[in-house]
Amino acid sequence: MDRRRFCRTALAAGIAASLPLLKACGRSEPPVATTANTSIRGISLDGAEIELERAAIRELGDSMTGPVLLSGHPDYNGARKIWNGMHDKRPALIARCMNNQDVSNAITFARERELLVAVRGGGHSWPGKSVCDDGLMIDLSQLTSVTVDVDEKRAHVDGGALLGHLDQASLPYGLVTTAGVVSHTGVGGFTLGGGYGRLNRKFGLAVDNLRAATMVTADGRVRNVSAEEDADLFWAIRGGGGNFGVVTEFDFQLYPFDRNVLSGSIIWPIAQARDVLEFYAEWSAGLSDEMYTGPAMATGGDGAGMVIMEVVYAGDPAAGEKELAPLRALGAPIDDGVKMQDYTVMQTQEDAAFGHGIRSYAKNGMVREWTQELVDTMIEAFVQDPRMAMFTHTAGGAVNRVDDVDTAFPHRNAETMLSVGGGWSDPTMDAEAMAIGREWFSKLAPFTGGYYDNIQSNPESVASNYGPAHERLVRIKSEYDAGNLFRLNSNIKPA
């Protein structure tokens, strides 16, 4: 039998899985840490070039349950890509973690070498903090399990799970908790930054519903944190972002919920923006906790400007219809799609518009009060461009009834979050689209105070953004991550 035929026969028989035969057939094994044959260039925490020695790389690979991918591995490019296509970075190593010990081993490897670290959960970091050049990516994307304890009304969620996994696991039991507005967002980053969602007026932010967590800190130690255990650390991760370690499991409170809800969107032409926004500014002050609705201003595919009001009513539909009636009667809508429908229709309706690979940029700020001046500016600042939009996320209700320093999330008094952002696919549009977004938001910025760091990161204003929580956050950061290993975030620097 000739050598080529032998290789084909062996593969068909399944024998080709052995390394010797693969080599005999002219193939080479994919590059992973366990078979590294050379040192690799890395980048240190302070930006200096360092050498990751072959023996150390192999030792890391041998210690892991999951693979440590090197450039050239067939899974490397997929693993390094995150949701926002504007961030095209190449880590030196990607540690695909399968359990807490894998995370601990990866952290220890990075800490001992002062190697730059990025942590990837769902990979939805808008400013691109979940990937880095020449550092170590700790990849939790394989950890997506969600289990529901119906009796205790709790959801136990792995650190790499997506918001869609959480909804899909809990809703069949008639249970829910606050999740975000795009279902392929990662639970981890979403929660650690605060966690706005369409149910936050009724049930509070995601951090308000976090009851416990399992995490690995910079010393490589696996910790179970809650109000009773490592209480300072538990306080810090509820709004303090990824500054304090890698959270590998979240324990959320769930609530009874009928998934068939009054929900949908009402759309008016941009010519009616003043009527809609002035009405909303007054009407929204009296909304019940069950009513979630907030305006957006965008440009449709036909180039026409429009005002959109997204609605989710988390309560008795008859009461919701009555409360919503004045808004539905306003002006002459292009479309009124509010009806009884499955909650996941709303939870997934923006998934395609914000699909993976889109190039996206956004700026945001917190608004404490709707004023006539704000409404006037929103109308004057509107840019009719399909790449960019202005949108809001309504808070109030249960969000506001938590004290400013009960968690590390600092924006309890905001009535809404106001953002300008969008997406496009052509890289040549980056500069123009970003300039439009910056200019648009600059006109709205005077009406805001502080920002939501899940959307943007401003290193120069971290302290002021956290306000009264910052001093305590610095103390906790200094205790648990004195070397600032976890710095690719809205970074709280240790004392």
Residue 347: band (very low, low, confident or very high) from pLDDT cuts 50, 70, 90:
very high
Give the model's pLDDT for residue 27.
45
Residue 60 corresponds to which amino acid?
L
Give the model's pLDDT for residue 226.
98
Give the model's pLDDT for residue 13.
35
CATH number for the domain running over 260-447: 3.40.462.20
**CA distances (Å), 448 to each of 270, 308, 314, 371, 410, in order?**
23, 21, 28, 12, 14
CA–centroid distance for 26 within its chain: 43
**CA distances (Å), 128 to each of 80, 119, 134, 276, 483, in order?**
11, 11, 15, 35, 22
**Residues β-bridged to residue 94:** 69, 137
In whole angstroms, what is the distance from residue 214 CA to residue 21 CA? 43
Residue 64: band (very low, low, confident or very high) from pLDDT cuts 50, 70, 90:
very high
Mean pLDDT for 168-180 is 98
- Helix H, strand E, coil C: the string for 297-323 is EEECCCCCEEEEEEEEECCCHHHHHHH
Residue 22: band (very low, low, confident or very high) from pLDDT cuts 50, 70, 90:
very low
The answer to whether the beta carbons of residues 178 and 200 sit under 8 Å apart is yes
**Residues β-bridged to residue 149:** 154
In whole angstroms, what is the distance from residue 283 CA to residue 401 CA? 20
**Residues β-bridged to residue 296:** 308, 391
- Hunting for tokens 């980056």 — which residue is that? 430
Compute the mean pLDDT over every residue in the chain, rounded to the nearest whole number: 93
In whole angstroms, what is the distance from residue 355 CA to residue 345 CA? 16
Instruction: Give me the percent of the chain exceeding a pLDDT of 70.
Output: 94
Residue-wise pLDDT tens digits, 479-494: 999 999 999 999 999 9
Handedness of CA 245, 456, 204, 401 (dihedral sign): positive
Give the model's pLDDT for residue 459.
84
Radius of gyration of the chain (CA): 24
Query: What does the domain layout of the chain look like in residue ranges?
Result: 1-27, 31-114, 260-447
Give the model's pLDDT for residue 3.
35
| Residue 211 confidence (pLDDT) above 90 | yes
Q: Which residue has the higher pLDDT, 60 or 31?
A: 60
Helix axis angle, 372-381 to 430-444, nearest 10°: 160
In whole angstroms, what is the distance from residue 261 CA to residue 340 CA? 5
| Residue 6 confidence (pLDDT) above 80 | no
Residue 33: band (very low, low, confident or very high) from pLDDT cuts 50, 70, 90:
confident
Which residues, including other chains, have CB under 8 Å from residue 27's CB and lie 6 or more apart? none
**CA distances (Å), 42 to each of 93, 131, 139, 174, 402, in order?**
9, 14, 17, 48, 43
Give the model's pLDDT for residue 15.
27
Mean pLDDT for 13-24 is 33
Residue-wise pLDDT tens digits, 439-460: 999 999 999 999 999 998 888 8
Residue 31: band (very low, low, confident or very high) from pLDDT cuts 50, 70, 90:
confident
Give the model's pLDDT for residue 30.
81
| Long-range own/partner contacts, residues 381-384 (CB < 8 A, 24 or more apart) | 381/440, 381/443, 381/444, 382/270, 382/273, 382/297, 382/305, 382/440, 383/436, 383/439, 383/440, 384/270, 384/299, 384/303, 384/305
Give the model's pLDDT for residue 25.
38
Identify the CATH assignment for 31-114 out of 3.20.20.60, 2.40.30.10, 3.30.43.10, 3.50.50.60. Answer: 3.30.43.10
**CA distances (Å), 96 to each of 64, 77, 133, 368, in order?**
9, 13, 17, 42
Give the model's pLDDT for residue 417.
97
In whole angstroms, what is the distance from residue 476 CA to residue 487 CA? 14
Residue-wise pLDDT tens digits, 116-141: 999 999 999 999 999 999 999 999 99
